[in-house]
A and B are shown apart, each in its own frame.
Chain A
Amino acid sequence: MALSLGGKLGIRSRVYVAGKPIPFFWPMRSFIHHNPLHGLENMPFDEALIKARKLFHANTYLSRSQYRAYLEDGKVCRDALLLLSGQAAQELKQDLDINLAGLFANLLTESVEPVTTDKVSFSTQAVWQALHRQPTDPTAIINDGDLQEYLNHKLSPDRPLYEKIDALFDLGIGEELDELVIKSCLDFFDEGQSVWKMPERKKGFFQAWYALASRNRWLSRRARFIQQVVQDPGSPEDVIDTVMRRMQVPEDAWQSYFTYELSRLHGWVGFIRWRENAKNYHWSNRYPADLVEYLAIRLTLSLALIEDRAQKTGLLNMPAINKAIENRTAELFLRHELYSGSVFPPLAQQVEAHIAIDQQSAIEVFCKQYLLKKAQHESSQCADRLTRLMHDCGDGEALSGLSVEQLDHLLHALREFERREGQLWLEAMECQSTNDLLEKISFAAVPERKKRPFAQALFCIDTRSERIRRHLESVGDYQTFGIAGFFGVPFSFMELGKGSETHLCPILLTPKNLVLEITRDETIMDEAALSALEKVIHELKESIFSPFVTVEAIGLLFGFDMFGKTLAPRTYNGLRKHLHSDKPITYLLQDKLSREQADSVVRAVQRALIESAIEVELGLSKEKITDDMVREIRECALELEQVAPMLEKELSMDEATLEAFIDRLQDDYNINPAFARLQLERLARIGFNLDEQVNFVVTALKSIGMTGPFSRFVLLMGHGSRSENNPYESALDCGACGGNHGLFNARVLAYMANKPRVRDRLQREGLDIADDVWFIPAMHNTTTDDMHLYDLELLPSSHLIYLDRLRNGLIAASRLCAQERLLTLDDQSPQREPAKAFIDVQRNAMDWSQVRPEWGLSRNAYFIIGRRDLTLGKDLAGRSFLHSYDYRIDPKCRLLENIFGGPLVVGQWINMEHYFSTVDNQRLGSGSKVYHNVAGRFGVMTGNLSDLRTGLPAQTVLLRGEPYHEPVRLITVIEAPFESTLKALEAVAAVSRLVRNQWIRLIIIDPQTRLIHRYEKNEWIRQPVSEAQPVISSEEGNV
């Protein structure tokens, strides 16, 4: 029965809320670093991690052994760890006369395996008996009632029905369902990778799937339910309602059921979530899809598979499972043990044999034996570990004197502590990281410069800029600043030869202005021909039959390509580059058009179209088409005039034919008033007006405290990366530019800042920029450390004489940076000479077999907002985002609010993405790159069929299987007065919430009071700058 509108909205809202914890997945063309647990940021960090563990079946902290390795390497603060253990002991102590703090500390630093387990088989009494070398009393193991409770807990109603069946029968329904859903997603969401497209995609995901399913014999044979859906599909909401009722899932569990269902393929679901919200996304407009449709398909297929297997299981709905748990407790328990991987290993074969025999009485007898043996084994294991632990702590005798009740308290305390231990390790590690940073920060006052530096350079806040900035500052008279890589100018960009817009700004912003890249050259046509050739070859490779022929015909060419790329990547790619003509010199259309100019552009376009239409539709040759004729037709089409009889005469046609031609112009050629208005609106987006330009320049310079004196050269250094055969290339680009290169933003700001009219207005704003100051856009390639200057044709001739010195400085810095960075990429070889290192990193970028062209933002840990002098000359090992900021020119902290709202949030996303990709690379990262295949041109899968891989690959965060990235939350240091910083923080609710919920570790250095304020567990703790030592206790100096 079809649902009412209210019913449909009810389903929609439930699906919407259920999907909230699933993070967005952006297409990889512009990889966006994001927090995989973004949907849980409204919860405190530790609580969110518990929820995520359940939702994504993922680890959310590193293992104890890994943290212990960090402890031995001095990366975890031992004092903090002991202090935190002591605090935990105080909380969990109860009436025990045992040194819990020592016990906990010993557990963390000496024990390899956890003492307590989450096992079901035994009670504390069994452990007590094991401790006293007594045989396990059969009554000490759990009974049928407990088993039922255990099973009901494990198979809770919000868990998908097929998952429960799989947990009991190991039928692989979940895996098969995932495969079917992934195939449907691949078909529908394809963005040009497949040669044969899915039909009827314009109708939407569900309808397109239905159209295929109704012709798919395999599917319709599968189960009655599919046949019913195929006969009467209804709306996706109807289908969801029907399936849920048929499975008899309690209605109050629907939402959490949906969440678990959606989290199973969270990559695909994240992509659909992002896509349905991306209003300007071409593919989404063309082929719409939403989560409700996805869920309807998934649920339909799941029910079909469940029905298909019902003969084996006899389980079709939730009550059937509950009834089975009640009537066949022992059997279901043993099944669950075997198929969920918690079976007692030595008895696994016997469990399997008993299940196969299927005799309830025999199973019940065996189950009791099984439980007893398992309880004996596990309780003695627990007792041994506990004895060892207590003995190591010198409390061995106390253990034997404990009563069962006391032992229960002790085990409870240990269990709770082991549950929390990840968080403790993390906090102690962050404490060490904070101490390391504070040791490097210089609090001394810096004398004013006597003369302006030779050159100033604005780099992105990206952690990779820290190294190159440090080296540039070391090789000469250079001053550097850190600014968000889009230079504070958000815009939409249409690159030369491309038909779509790219947003060059943080994903949090929606740009209003459009910038076009144009050229005077005509080489773009040659480039188009080459692109067409490449496309043909690509399609030959992709289609089903052509490879048979192409391999014979042009396979050898590919062979040369393969050998060249593999054996001599630098030389070969150098030669190959000659096949492509250089990009022509381009200009950016970035000044706003006046109303008259816009009108004129629209008029010109319309005139060209009309001329073409007259030629094509009416067959008139060019010489017969007069300007007046075109003007009159245009005005008729725009309904400014009636059709004049003279026009009919000129065109030699009757009134009806002419009117039909005008109608065609309006409908097919879009020459009508509405479209003309739309064109004007679109043209109005192009460029920036003078006020905007002045505002952007002022804000950019002031936000980093750059108020003068200005050097002769001010470099605006965008950054990006280039590597071969790397679907994750854009993950290495600038996050502040939406995962794109930052060059165009640099060019736009340089153009604005060099403009005389803007300079005049800047003077009025208090920014006195001398006439000889020239802003040069530049590009830092983070894979090769190469820095290249752009738009030099605009450089005043007076500056050319200094250009060599500038270039030499940049090259020297590049080489030194490459030398330092190469050691992290190849830690087996000795340090190379700077020039050699520079060549080697270039090879890395061109080597198509290189899975790690650079480390990207791995090991990021800090975000410093303040003057460069805080860390000038200090080696931060590329671990810190550096945002320049001078509180003295921002008394109201408006600029600080901007930094909080944009760069800091982006930094936190990057940090969290690295954190979670490291702690569980399989579930929250994307696993090894080696097995990745591009899916639909927007994502990657592992192998030929998998969930879309989200997060970062193993090669970005792991080194030889061990974490290279050291996962800590972003330690943010702000140099500004405490009170005003707090106000700025409160003004940006999103960041304030992140700080309160401990997703960011905040430290404020107040330069006026010379106090350091640290936010710890809902309290501000302060200490003088001279005593920058670990402070974990909340007892001292609370504000």
Chain B
Amino acid sequence: MDLTWWIAALFLPLFPFSAVFVVLVRKMSNTWLKGLVFLLWPQPGVWLVINNAGIIPQWLLYWAIGTAILYAFRALVLRELFQWLSFIAASAWSILWIVYSGNNAPDLMLFALGFSLPMALMVLIGGDLEKRFSTVYAGLYGGISESHPRLSAMFVFTLLAVIATPLFPGFFTMMSSIMAQMLVTPVIALGLLLVWLFWSWSGILMLQGLVMGPFDEATSRKPDLGALRTAWYSLSLVAVGVFGLSFAVVF
């Protein structure tokens, strides 16, 4: 395995190289910059992998699925949104190795973007939450569904996109990968299903801790999202949905 793979393992994170991305996200405070990192981080890795055009050894696929499972599982206990998101990102991008091995090399960039777009959007929405409540930490303040309906709606739909629910691009990526691996390496297919389960589970925990719950007087004093920003987020979400549907057409 040449150096290119090792560098790619940094951007399509494989444990322990993934720690670089996780630590970097933790250190960053600027929301826009953080969003940009989530959007672009896997692209150098994708470029390296595609241009290397080598055949990925089987053990690397197991390494990738191991990383994906590890981060998805660890995400279950995380309560801080950005940290959780960085773990989900590490988990999702490591799956791109498996996508690549499933003869989807030409579209790998799109697949990567399919995972990254909702995450970048989530960073921006997380920034809005952070601005209002000092932190985005599940279970710390009362549910915002009643007091901040717009912000909650945007958060819920974006989170659904992040955890790869139907219509969003991640869903089709996961489906195609599982289908591709089902007959070739059923263990990896099972691993992918397990990862998906962990994403959904941890996502629901995040929703429970941030959106659901009793109305809180102190929380309700902060303003909800403005109409313009809501429209902007909604359009972005629709765009991500349409992007996802284009995946469905391709497959």
Residues A63 and B140 in contact, CB atoms below 8 Å apart: no
Report how far A348 CA is from B140 CA in the complex, Å: 9
| Chain B residues positioned under 8 Å from A352 (CB to CB) | 79-80
Whether a CB of chain B sits under 8 angstroms from the CB of A640 is no
Whether a CB of chain A sits under 8 angstroms from the CB of B83 is yes
Residues B83 and A349 in contact, CB atoms below 8 Å apart: yes
Residues A65 and B135 in contact, CB atoms below 8 Å apart: no
Report the interface size class on chain A.
Answer: 10 to 19
Report how far A349 CA is from B138 CA in the complex, Å: 11
Residues A346 and B135 in contact, CB atoms below 8 Å apart: yes
Whether a CB of chain B sits under 8 angstroms from the CB of A113 is yes
Whether a CB of chain B sits under 8 angstroms from the CB of A844 is no
| Chain B residues positioned under 8 Å from A961 (CB to CB) | 146, 215
| Chain A residues positioned under 8 Å from B83 (CB to CB) | 349
Report how far A252 CA is from B70 CA in the complex, Å: 50
Whether a CB of chain B sits under 8 angstroms from the CB of A674 is no
Residue of A nearest to B139 (CB): A341
Whether a CB of chain A sits under 8 angstroms from the CB of B97 is no
Residues B146 and A343 in contact, CB atoms below 8 Å apart: no
Instruction: Determine which of A112, A113, A341 lies in contact with B140 in the assembled complex, contact meaning CB atoms within 8 Å.
Output: A341
| Chain A residues positioned under 8 Å from B135 (CB to CB) | 345-346, 348-349
Residues B133 and A349 in contact, CB atoms below 8 Å apart: no
Whether a CB of chain B sits under 8 angstroms from the CB of A922 is yes
* Contact string against B for A residues 341-378, beta-carbon threshold 8 Å, 1 for contact and 0 otherwise: 10101101100100000000000000000000000000
Report how far A65 CA is from B83 CA in the complex, Å: 36
Tell me the smallest distance from the CB of B227 to a CB of chain A, in Å. 20
Residues B80 and A349 in contact, CB atoms below 8 Å apart: yes
Residues A345 and B80 in contact, CB atoms below 8 Å apart: no
Residue of A nearest to B133 (CB): A345
Report how far A922 CA is from B133 CA in the complex, Å: 24
Whether a CB of chain A sits under 8 angstroms from the CB of B30 is no
| Chain A residues positioned under 8 Å from B217 (CB to CB) | 63, 65
Whether a CB of chain A sits under 8 angstroms from the CB of B233 is no
Report how far A113 CA is from B218 CA in the complex, Å: 8
A-B contact count (CB 8 A): 31
Residues A348 and B214 in contact, CB atoms below 8 Å apart: no
Given contacts A65-B217, A352-B79, A922-B214, is CB(A345)–CB(B134) below 8 Å? yes
Report how far A346 CA is from B129 CA in the complex, Å: 12
Tell me the smallest distance from the CB of B127 to a CB of chain A, in Å. 14
For window 64-121 of A, CB contacts with B under 8 Å fall at 65, 112-113
Report how far A376 CA is from B49 CA in the complex, Å: 50
* Contact string against A for B residues 108-121, beta-carbon threshold 8 Å, 1 for contact and 0 otherwise: 00000000000000
Report how far A345 CA is from B80 CA in the complex, Å: 10
| Chain B residues positioned under 8 Å from A922 (CB to CB) | 214
* Contact string against A for B residues 121-147, beta-carbon threshold 8 Å, 1 for contact and 0 otherwise: 000000000000111010111000010
Tell me the smallest distance from the CB of A216 to a CB of chain B, in Å. 27
Tell me the smallest distance from the CB of A344 to a CB of chain B, in Å. 8
Report how far A36 CA is from B146 CA in the complex, Å: 26
Tell me the smallest distance from the CB of B231 to a CB of chain A, in Å. 24
Residues A348 and B146 in contact, CB atoms below 8 Å apart: no
Given contacts A352-B79, A922-B214, A961-B146, is CB(A346)–CB(B221) below 8 Å? no
Residues A343 and B221 in contact, CB atoms below 8 Å apart: no
Residue of A nearest to B136 (CB): A345
Tell me the smallest distance from the CB of A585 to a CB of chain B, in Å. 52
Residue of B nearest to A63 (CB): B217
Dominant secondary structure at the B interface = loop
| Chain A residues positioned under 8 Å from B221 (CB to CB) | 112-113
Residues A348 and B80 in contact, CB atoms below 8 Å apart: yes
Report how far A804 CA is from B22 CA in the complex, Å: 84
Tell me the smallest distance from the CB of B67 to a CB of chain A, in Å. 21
Report how far A65 CA is from B147 CA in the complex, Å: 14
| Chain A residues positioned under 8 Å from B146 (CB to CB) | 961
Report how far A922 CA is from B141 CA in the complex, Å: 17
Tell me the smallest distance from the CB of B65 to a CB of chain A, in Å. 26
* Contact string against B for A residues 318-352, beta-carbon threshold 8 Å, 1 for contact and 0 otherwise: 00000000000000000000000101011011001
| Chain B residues positioned under 8 Å from A349 (CB to CB) | 80, 83, 135, 137
Residue of B nearest to A59 (CB): B217
Tell me the smallest distance from the CB of B140 to a CB of chain A, in Å. 6
Report how far A345 CA is from B83 CA in the complex, Å: 15
Which of A63, A112, A113, A348 counts the most chain B CB atoms within 10 A? Answer: A348
| Chain B residues positioned under 8 Å from A112 (CB to CB) | 221
| Chain A residues positioned under 8 Å from B137 (CB to CB) | 345, 348-349
Report how far A961 CA is from B214 CA in the complex, Å: 12
For window 46-92 of B, CB contacts with A under 8 Å fall at 79-80, 83
| Chain A residues positioned under 8 Å from B218 (CB to CB) | 113
Tell me the smallest distance from the CB of A821 to a CB of chain B, in Å. 28
Report how far A65 CA is from B218 CA in the complex, Å: 11
* Contact string against B for A residues 882-924, beta-carbon threshold 8 Å, 1 for contact and 0 otherwise: 0000000000000000000000000000000000000000100
Given contacts A65-B217, A113-B221, is CB(A345)–CB(B79) below 8 Å? no
| Chain B residues positioned under 8 Å from A346 (CB to CB) | 134-135
Report how far A922 CA is from B215 CA in the complex, Å: 10
| Chain A residues positioned under 8 Å from B141 (CB to CB) | 341, 345
| Chain A residues positioned under 8 Å from B133 (CB to CB) | 345
Given contacts A65-B217, A112-B221, A113-B221, is CB(A343)–CB(B134) below 8 Å? no
Report how far A868 CA is from B224 CA in the complex, Å: 51
| Chain B residues positioned under 8 Å from A63 (CB to CB) | 217
Report how far A344 CA is from B133 CA in the complex, Å: 11
Residues A345 and B140 in contact, CB atoms below 8 Å apart: yes
Tell me the smallest distance from the CB of B224 to a CB of chain A, in Å. 14
Residue of B nearest to A356 (CB): B77
Which of A343, A349, A352 counts the most chain B CB atoms within 10 A? Answer: A349
Residue of A nearest to B220 (CB): A65
Report how far A65 CA is from B80 CA in the complex, Å: 31
Residue of B nearest to A112 (CB): B221
| Chain A residues positioned under 8 Å from B140 (CB to CB) | 341, 343, 345, 348
* Contact string against A for B residues 193-206, beta-carbon threshold 8 Å, 1 for contact and 0 otherwise: 00000000000000
Report how far A348 CA is from B138 CA in the complex, Å: 10
Report how far A346 CA is from B131 CA in the complex, Å: 11
For window 50-65 of A, CB contacts with B under 8 Å fall at 63, 65
Tell me the smallest distance from the CB of A373 to a CB of chain B, in Å. 12
Tell me the smallest distance from the CB of A425 to a CB of chain B, in Å. 15
Report how far A343 CA is from B146 CA in the complex, Å: 23
Which of B133, B134, B137 counts the most chain A CB atoms within 10 A? Answer: B137
| Chain A residues positioned under 8 Å from B215 (CB to CB) | 961
Residue of B nearest to A349 (CB): B80
Report how far A113 CA is from B217 CA in the complex, Å: 10
| Chain B residues positioned under 8 Å from A65 (CB to CB) | 217
Report how far A345 CA is from B139 CA in the complex, Å: 11
Tell me the smallest distance from the CB of B44 to a CB of chain A, in Å. 28
Report how far A922 CA is from B213 CA in the complex, Å: 11
Tell me the smallest distance from the CB of A402 to a CB of chain B, in Å. 27
| Chain A residues positioned under 8 Å from B214 (CB to CB) | 922
For window 206-235 of B, CB contacts with A under 8 Å fall at 214-215, 217-218, 221
Report how far A63 CA is from B221 CA in the complex, Å: 12
Report how far A171 CA is from B140 CA in the complex, Å: 16
| Chain B residues positioned under 8 Å from A343 (CB to CB) | 140
Report how far A486 CA is from B248 CA in the complex, Å: 69
Report how far A349 CA is from B221 CA in the complex, Å: 24
Ordered by A's residue number, 22 sampled pairs between the chains whose C-beta atoms are within 8 Å are A63-B217, A65-B217, A112-B221, A113-B218, A341-B140, A341-B141, A343-B140, A345-B133, A345-B134, A345-B135, A345-B140, A345-B141, A346-B135, A348-B79, A348-B80, A348-B135, A349-B80, A349-B83, A352-B79, A352-B80, A961-B146, A961-B215
Q: Give residues in B with beta carbon < 8 Å to A.
A: 79-80, 83, 133-135, 137, 139-141, 146, 214-215, 217-218, 221
Closest 4 CB pairs of A and B: A345-B134, A345-B135, A348-B137, A349-B80
Q: Give residues in A with beta carbon < 8 Å to B.
A: 63, 65, 112-113, 341, 343, 345-346, 348-349, 352, 922, 961
Given contacts A65-B217, A345-B134, A352-B79, 10 further A-B contacts (CB under 8 A): A63-B217, A343-B140, A345-B135, A345-B140, A348-B79, A348-B135, A349-B80, A349-B83, A352-B80, A961-B146
